[in-house]
Structures are given as C-alpha cells and as structure tokens.
Structure 1
Amino acid sequence: MPKSYPNSVRRQISHRLRSGDTVADIGTETGISPATLFRWKAQALIDAEVRGGVPSVESDELASARAHIAALEAELALTRDVCALFDDQSVAPPKGRSRSSKD
C-alpha cells in the first residue's frame, strides 16, 4: 500500500512546488518519490485553476460519496442475508408442534 502523508505536509509541499521549487530538490530533501510529487504538483495546478481538471474539493466529495455508497451496499447485502435466514422455507417449527396448532 502506498505511503500516506498528512494533508498539512501535502499542502506545504504543493505550495513550494507552485512557488518554483523543483521536484528533484523537494524529493531529495523529503524522501518523497518524484512520481508522488509530480502528481501533487499537477493537482496543485488544477486547484489553482492554471490547468483543467477536477479540483481536490470535488474529488474528495466524490470519494466520500463513493465510500458512503459502498457502506450502504454492504449493509443492504447483510440485510438480504439476514432476511434469507428467516425465510418461511428455512425456519422449522419446534419438534412436536405443527405451525397451525395453538396452545
């Protein structure tokens, strides 16, 4: 799994990239891979409306919505599994009694 960096670190480095520091210099200084830094720089340019694309705010909202949908789908699947357990065909009456008899 890729390493995760705090948002504060990403913001500081994105600011440095926008102000002209090179990816190579920042990569050497921080140990963050150049590929990650180029991705952050591209996103910083999109957020600054210098380049076209989906801004971070919108992509964060989209990711949050997708996670919420996945959680709801998992809950629905669990509900369906539980309902299947209590289907009339799978629940047997206690021994010695029929379903129609009343005490």
Structure 2
Amino acid sequence: MRQSDPQEVTVPKSYPHSVRRQISHCLRAGDAVADIASETGISPATLFRWKDQALIDAGVRGGVPSVESDELASARSRIAALEAELALTRDACALFDEQSVMPPKGRSRSSKD
C-alpha cells in the first residue's frame, strides 16, 4: 500500500465542456451514475455534481445556473488580475516617491547659463 506524501497535492481532473455536456445529458435522460462512472472512469461524486448542475441549468432545481457561475468566476479572475496590477503600480509609485531628484554636480537647478 502506498503512503501519501504530506507535501503531495491532488489536483482535480479537468474535463472538456463537450464531454461534461454530453454526460450531463445522459444523466438527465435517466442513465445510472454507476454505469456512466464505470464506462468513463469519472468518479461518481463528480457525476452527481454534474447531474445536480444540469438540473439547475434546466430549471428543475433551484440554484445558480452555470452561465452565471462562469461569469462570476471570470469576474473574480479579472478582479484578481486588476488587484495584482494595482499592487505593482502602488509599489512603483512608492519607489519613485522615495527617490529624490538630485541636480547635476557643479550646477544648481535654479541657475541658468
């Protein structure tokens, strides 16, 4: 038996939208989750989540439709990018504020030649 490494991180597997859409359609049509799980190798927990979301998208159950959650995820990603850009801008401004402009040696800024 393999022991898990405490530093090891498990990343959820990602599936194309077309696959998810096709399987969700089969689930809504009445195919058993266990059958689809054994055919595709996708975990039953994932399939149940997809089925629940398909029912929400169809208006059968209450919840947030996929379109709205996709828009929300996109907005959150954009906000994170803008906040990172703002932080860089603030750091650059702070750096320039700390630097003082020194006149060239031997000349004062107020004298004109």
Segments of 5+ residues of structure 2 without an aligned counterpart are: 1-10
Equivalenced residue count is 102
1:37 equivalent to 2:52? Answer no
Cross-structure match for 2:16: 6
1:14-48 CA distance string (max 9 Å, x none): 00000000110000000001110000000000001
Query: Distance in 1 between the 2:76 and 2:108 partners?
Result: 45
When residues 35 and 64 of structure 1 are mapped into structure 2, their CA distance, relative to the original with a 3 A threshold, is same
Kindly indicate whether the alpha-carbon contact (under 8 Å) linking 2:103 and 2:109 is maintained by their aligned counterparts in 1: no
Segments of 5+ residues of structure 1 without an aligned counterpart are: none
When residues 35 and 100 of structure 1 are mapped into structure 2, their CA distance, relative to the original with a 3 A threshold, is same
When residues 99 and 66 of structure 1 are mapped into structure 2, their CA distance, relative to the original with a 3 A threshold, is farther
- State the 1:2 CA deviation: 0.5
Query: Distance in 2 between the 1:35 and 1:76 partners?
Result: 39
- State the 1:102 CA deviation: 5.2
Cross-structure match for 1:90: 99
Alignment of 1:15-26 (within 5 A): 15-26=25-36
When residues 16 and 100 of structure 1 are mapped into structure 2, their CA distance, relative to the original with a 3 A threshold, is same
1:40-87 CA distance string (max 9 Å, x none): 000000001110000000111111111111111111000001111101
1:81 equivalent to 2:91? Answer yes
Cross-structure match for 1:57: 67
- Of all paired residues, the percent bearing the same amino acid is 75
The root-mean-square deviation of aligned C-alpha atoms, in Å, is 1.9
Query: Distance in 2 between the 1:97 and 1:52 partners?
Result: 77
Kindly indicate whether the alpha-carbon contact (under 8 Å) linking 1:93 and 1:99 is maintained by their aligned counterparts in 2: no
Query: Distance in 1 between the 2:89 and 2:79 partners?
Result: 15
